[in-house]
Every structure is written in C-alpha cells, then in structure tokens.
Amino acid sequence: MTLAAKILQGDRMSLARVLTQIENETVLGLQALNELYTHTGKAHLIGVTGPPGTGKSSLVNQLARFYRGLGEDTPKRVGIVAVDPSSPFTGGAILGDRVRMRDLAGDKDVFIRSMASRGSLGGLAVATSGVVQAMDAAGYEVIFIETVGAGQAEVEIARLADTVLVVEAPGMGDDIQAIKAGILEIADVIVINKADRPGVETTTHALRSMLQLAHPNSHLFMDSGNSSYSHSNADFFAHHEAETDTSGFAENPKIWTPPLEQTVATEGIGIADLARTIQRHYEHLKESGELARRLRVRVETQLDVLLRERLIRHWQSQIAEEQYRETVDKLMRREISPWQAADNLIDR
C-alpha cells in the first residue's frame, strides 16, 4: 500500500512521514501529493497572522478546542500548521507553541505541524500549501495556518487560506504605524486579542481609523455598482457609514465587512463569537462565489511557481556552463546588454 493510501485510511504516522517528504521536496513527497490531490478541496483553511506575541497560538489553541466539540455539537477534525518564515530553526517560538497547544496533545483528531524557513519565500509558500493539501486529503476539516510576524512572507502564506484572521493586541496600538496596512488589507476578520489588557478601546479605535485612512475615497466605492465583491477594507468603512445612514449597503450579501472581534485567548473569552464569525465568513465565501474565485487564484499561483521552477531547471540542464560563463564575461566587458545576454542564453 502506498503512503498516500495509508493517509487516506487515517494513518497518522504515514501523514507525518509524507509531510516531512513534502517539506524536503522529495520524489516520494511529490508522488504522494499527486495521489492525494484529487481528495483535497474539502477543508476550511483559516490563516492566522499578525505581529509576534499578540496571542495567535493561544487563539488557535482555543479555536481548535472549540471545533473539537467544546462549543459545538459536531466535533470537527482539526489540522494546525505553524509557519515561521523568519527562522530556519524549529527553535523557541515553536517550542512555545507546543506549550500553548498542550491541551490538544493526545487528541487523535488534531494534527499539529511546525514549519521553519527553508530557502526561498516562494518555496516556503509552496511547501506550506503541499502540507495543507496533504492534511486536507487526510480528512482534517478545519486547518489553521499560523504565521509568525507581519511581513510580506506572512501575506503570501495567509493567501493560502480561505479566511484570514489578523490578530492585534492592545499596547501595540500605541505604535499603530507598526501595523502594516498591507496586513489589514488581507484581513477577513480582525481579532483584538488580550482584551483584558488596558487600552483595548484605543487599539480598536486606532484600527478602525487605519482602515478608513487606507481608503479615504471609499464613499466613491460605495456609490459605484456594488454587485461585485471586493475584498477590501472599503467594505469595512462602508459598513460603518451604513450603520448611520441606513442605506442598506451593509445588507448586500455580496459585500463582506471585516468585523473587529475582541477576545481573551487565555480565558477562552470571545472564542464562540469568533468561531461564529469565521463560519459566517465561510458561508459568505460560498454564497458569493468568492470561494471559487480565491481557489482559482491559489491554483494559478501554485502553478505559476511550479512552472517557473521547472522551466528554469529545464533551461539549466540544456545550457553548458561554459556558455553561461562566456556570456557573463561579455556582459562584464560591456559587449552586450543584460537583455541581449538573456535572449542569447534562451534562444540559442
């Protein structure tokens, strides 16, 4: 029996082994993914991102407990992928996660995997997507993708998800500029965790202002035909306008308004509400056709990365090292331009 077949039968050991193969991009890993791919596309992928220390792992732990039946009648199987794009080591942050997610240890319907940086960012995103696909095929119905930090890497990885939670915390609100507008743009739900700490209102207010500042002309957006879905913070602004002018804009089922949710992850406060909001977003994605659209973008992105990789590898196997060196020498002597050099090396 192949590893993939064992995974489809629910064998955790085989899944763990295949995930390692996928991370290392081995032939065995790729073979397994080929076999597993037709079984993917069923899981709800939830991205969790935001600055370090805001409580992402604690939140994932609580949400996972919720999905495991603490707050729901039908328990779901939960997969968790913790990605650290900043570190090549599975060091401190991940160890901390283990402690935060201790509650889930021993539950055979929860699968936790940590991934650290290896090589290129594109490579990490592809590896993460492979790991998520294997978990999806293995029957994990809700899969969390937690990323550390708040840079471009996080945005790339968060895009792998259907629903993106951006987690912030009070105190960081004082330094609101630190919150990258880019990270708010990809948010489907904004979570203000550590709501037990002073300054929650300040942070909430600051985040609202940030969203409005990012789209000062959002009223123009509101007036335009709003039948098309826009994954934009303008929707958020529009919602607040709608609350007062009762234009009914917010009632448009095709428009998603990224809500702000307050939680205390360490106490489990606000988790049920957050889970409901996540579910509402998933329903919205399905009803509006946005789920299919995001899936298509994801499939295209993955295909593009793979094509690029393979084309370069193919090209490298065709070209003599000697010819490459000679071309660089010519470039150094300014005999040809880099554009000519590239052309020369490609259409020989």
Contact positions vs ligand GDP (CB under 6 A): 52-58, 96, 100, 193-194, 196-197, 264-266
Question: Is 62 near Mg ion (CB under 5 A)?
Answer: no
Q: How far is the CB of 264 from ligand GDP (least distance, A)?
A: 4
Q: How far is the CB of 341 from ligand GDP (least distance, A)?
A: 45
Q: Which does 113 bind (CB under 5 to 8 A by kind): ligand GDP, Mg ion, none?
A: none
Give the CA-trace dihedral at 188, 190, 191, 195, to 10 degrees: -160
State the number of CA atoms in the 13 A half-sphere of 72 facing the CB: 19
Q: How far is the CB of 148 from ligand GDP (least distance, A)?
A: 6
Q: How far is the CB of 218 from ligand GDP (least distance, A)?
A: 29
Asked whether the beta carbons of 67 and 275 are under 8 A apart, the reply is: yes
Angle between helix 121-137 and helix 12-23 axes, rounded to 10 deg: 160
Residues in binding contact with Mg ion, number by CB under 5 A? 2
Work out the burial of residue 62: count CB atoms within 10 Å of its CB; fewer than 13 is exposed, 13-18 middle, 19 or more buried: buried
Residue nearest to Mg ion (CB): 57
Q: How far is the CB of 93 from ligand GDP (least distance, A)?
A: 7
Q: Which does 53 bind (CB under 5 to 8 A by kind): Mg ion, ligand GDP, none?
A: ligand GDP
Nearer to ligand GDP, 77 or 194 (CB): 194
CA distances to 82, 97, 148 from 93, rounded to whole Å, are 10, 6, 9
Nearer to ligand GDP, 54 or 233 (CB): 54
H or E segment to which residue 44 belongs: strand 44-49
Nearer to ligand GDP, 21 or 193 (CB): 193
Q: How far is the CB of 168 from ligand GDP (least distance, A)?
A: 10
Q: How many residues in the chain?
A: 348
Q: Which does 79 bind (CB under 5 to 8 A by kind): ligand GDP, Mg ion, none?
A: none
CB-based contacts of 22, cutoff 8 Å, min separation 6: 29, 30, 32, 33, 127, 130, 131, 134
Cα–Cα distance for residue pair 215/222, rounded to 1 Å: 11
Return the residue matching tokens 């579910």.
279
Residue nearest to ligand GDP (CB): 55
Q: Which does 54 bind (CB under 5 to 8 A by kind): Mg ion, ligand GDP, none?
A: ligand GDP
Task: Work out which of 21, 49, 54, 57 binds Mg ion, going by CB under 5 A.
Answer: 57
Instruction: Select from 39-47, 49-57, 264-272, 287-295 the region that touches Mg ion (CB under 5 A).
Output: 49-57
Cα–Cα distance for residue pair 240/326, rounded to 1 Å: 63
Cα–Cα distance for residue pair 316/324, rounded to 1 Å: 10
Return the residue matching tokens 């969203």.
211
Contact residues toward Mg ion (CB under 5 A) are 56-57
